[in-house]
Structure 1
Amino acid sequence: MQATADRCSRIDAVSIQLEGADHASTSSPRFSQDINGLRAMAVLVVMLFHFGVPGLRGGFVGVDIFFVISGCLMTGIIVRRLEAGRFSLVDFYVERARRIVPALLVLCVVLFAVGWLVLLPSEFRRMGKQIASSAVFASNLLFWRQSGYFDEGSHEKWLLHTWSLAVEWQFYLLYPLLLVALRRMVGAARTGFALAIVAVLAFALAVVGAERWPTSAFYLLPFRAWEMFAGGLVALIPFPPGRIGRRWVQVSGLVLLAIGFALIGVETPWPGGLALLPVTGTALVIWSAWERSALLGHPVAQFLGTISYSVYLWHWPVEVALRRFESGILATPTAHIATGLVLSLSIASLSYRWVERPARRLGQSGAAKRGGLLRRDVLQFGAASLAIALLGAGVWKLQGAPWRFSDTVQIADREATDGDPYGPRCFSTFGPALPPCRIGFDGPARVLLIGDSHALAIATALAAAAPAGGRSAGGVQFQGYASCPTVQGVTYGAHSELKCFDFNRTYLDPLTEGTESPVPLVVTNYWSSYLDASGLKFAGRDASGADPQPFNIDGYRQRFEATMCALARRRPVYVTLPFPEFAEHVPRTMALRLMRDPHAPDMTLPVGDYRQHNAQVIGWMQAASARCGIHLLDPVPYLCPDGLCRGSLNGRPLYTDRHHLSEFGNRLLVPMFRQVFVGGAEEPRASPSAW
Structure 2
Amino acid sequence: MRSRDAALDGIRAIAALGVWLLHVGSNTGVMYREGMLPWMMSRLGIAVPIFFLLSGLLLYRPWARAVIEDTARPRPARYLWRRIMRVMPVYWLVTGLALWAWSSFDWTGWLKWMLLAQNFFPADPTPDGLYQMWTLPIEMSFYLLLPIMAWLLHRFARGGNRPVRLLIGISVLPVICVATVAVTRLYGLPQLALLLPYHLIYFACGMAMAVLSVWIGHSRVIDSLAPQLLVLAGLLYALLSTGLAGPRTLTLPTLSQSLWRITLEAAVAVLVVAPFALASRPDSARNRVLGNPVSAYLGRISYSFFLWHAPVITLQLKLTGAQPFQGDFVSVAVVSFIVTLLLSIGSYHLIEVSALKLSGHRSAPAPRRPAPAPQPAAPAP
Query: TM over 0.5: same fold?
Result: yes
Q: 1:289 aligns to what?
A: 280
Contact kept in structure 2, 1:99 and 1:356, CA below 8 Å? yes
Match of 1:273 among 254, 263, 286: 263
2:82: which partner in 1? 95
> Aligned-pair distance for 1:249?
4.0
Amino acid at match of 1:229: A
Matched, 1:241 2:232: no
Change over 3 Å in CA distance of 1:214–1:249 after alignment to 2: farther
Alpha-carbon contact 2:177-2:197 (below 8 Å) kept: no
Partner of 1:353: 349
> What is the Cα deviation at residue 230 of structure 1?
0.8
- Cα distance change, pair 106–250 in 1 and its aligned pair in 2 (3 A): farther
Preserved contact between residue 9 and residue 300 of structure 2 (Cα < 8 Å): yes
**Does 2:20 align with 1:47?**
yes
Structure with greater helix share of residues: 2
- For 2:119 and 2:189, locate their aligned partners in 1 and report how far apart those are by CA, in whole Å: 14
Counterpart of 1:323 in structure 2 is: 317
Provide the aligned C-alpha RMSD in A: 2.9
Does the CA-based 8 Å contact 2:308-2:344 persist in structure 1? yes
Match of 2:142 in 1: 171
Q: How far has the Cα of 1:57 moved from its partner?
A: 1.7
Q: Deviations over 1:131-169 (max 9, x none)?
A: 4323212122234x458xxxxxx7x53322222111011
Written as runs of structure 1 = structure 2, the 5 A alignment for 1:69-84 is 69-80=54-65, 83-84=70-71
How much has 1:95 moved relative to structure 2? 1.0
Q: Does the 8 Å contact 2:174/2:204 carry over to 1?
A: no
Q: 1:264 aligns with which of 220, 235, 240?
A: 240
CA distance in 2, matches of 1:201, 1:239: 27
CA distance in 2 between partners of 1:32 and 1:57 (Å): 29
AA of the residue aligned to 1:219: L
Superposed displacement of residue 280, structure 1: 2.6
Between 1:310-319 and 1:215-224, the stretch displaced more is: 215-224
**What residue is the counterpart of 1:159 in the other structure?**
130
Contact 1:195–1:233 at 8 Å: present in 2 too? no
**Higher RCO, 1 vs 2 (CA within 8 Å, ≥6 residues apart):** 2
Q: Which residue of 1 aligns with 2:176?
A: 202
Q: Closer, same or farther in 2 for the Cα pair 1:32/1:127, shift >3 Å?
A: farther
- Cα distance, 1:358 vs structure 2: 0.9
2:294 pairs with 1:300: yes
> Map of 1:13-52 to 2, 5 A cutoff?
28=3, 31-52=4-25
Q: Which amino acid aligns with 2:94?
A: L
- Between the aligned partners of 1:210 and 1:304, the Cα distance in structure 2 is 36
Contact 2:82 2:361 in 1 (8 A): no
Equivalent of residue 92 in structure 2, options 78, 98, 105: 105
Q: Is the 8 A contact 1:183 1:191 kept in 2?
A: no
Distance 1:273 1:87, change over 3 A: closer
Q: Does 1:335 align with 2:331?
A: yes
Matched, 1:140 2:125: no
Deviations, residues 185-234 of structure 1 (Å, cap 9, x unaligned): 34171542333431341343255256435733531111111210110000
Identity over aligned residues, as a percent?
22
SS in 1 for 2:230: helix
Letter in structure 2 aligned against 1:326: T
Residue 568 of structure 1 corresponds to none
Structure 2: how far apart are the matches of 1:67 and 1:283?
12
Q: Which amino acid aligns with 1:195?
A: G
Gaps of 5+ in 1: 1-12, 14-24, 148-153, 367-691
Letter in 2 for 1:287: L
The Cα shift of 1:300 comes to 2.6
Q: Partners of 1:256 and 1:128 in 2: how far apart? A: 49
Residues 39, 185 of structure 1: CA spacing in aligned structure 2 closer, same or farther, 3 A cutoff?
Answer: same
CA contact (8 A) 2:153 2:166 kept: no
Q: CA deviation at 1:112?
A: 4.2
Distance (whole Å) between structure 2 residues aligned to residue 214 and residue 359 of structure 1: 38
Cα distance 1:281–1:177, how it changes in 2: closer, same or farther (>3 A)? Answer: same
Correspondence 1:449-528 to 2 at 5 A: none
Is this contact kept in 2: 1:252–1:284, CA < 8 A?
no
Match of 2:230 in 1: 254
Match of 1:221 among 193, 196, 212: 196
Q: Is the 8 A contact 2:15 2:47 kept in 1?
A: yes
Task: Give CA-to-partner distance per residue, 1:242-287, whole Å, 9 cap, x none.
Answer: 3xx3434433443344335433356264453332332332442322
- Give secondary structure in 1 for the equivalent of 2:290: coil
SS in 2 for 1:84: coil
Which deviations, in whole Å up to 9, do the C-alpha atoms of 1:514-572 show, x marking residues without a partner?
Answer: xxxxxxxxxxxxxxxxxxxxxxxxxxxxxxxxxxxxxxxxxxxxxxxxxxxxxxxxxxx
Q: 1:443 maps to which residue?
A: none
C-alpha distance in structure 2 between counterparts of 1:33 and 1:365, whole Å: 18
The aligned amino acid for 1:159 is L
Query: Structure 1 residue 125 and structure 2 residue 104: aligned?
Result: yes
CA deviation string 1:292-319 (max 9, x = no partner): 3233123331121110000001111112
* 3-state SS of 1:85 partner: coil
Aligned-residue offset at 1:35: 0.9
Q: Identify the structure with the greater strand proportion.
A: 1
| CA pair 230-98 structure 1, distance change in 2 beyond 3 A | same
For the pair shown, the structure with the greater C-alpha radius of gyration is 1
Per the alignment, in what secondary structure is the counterpart of residue 225 of structure 1?
Answer: helix
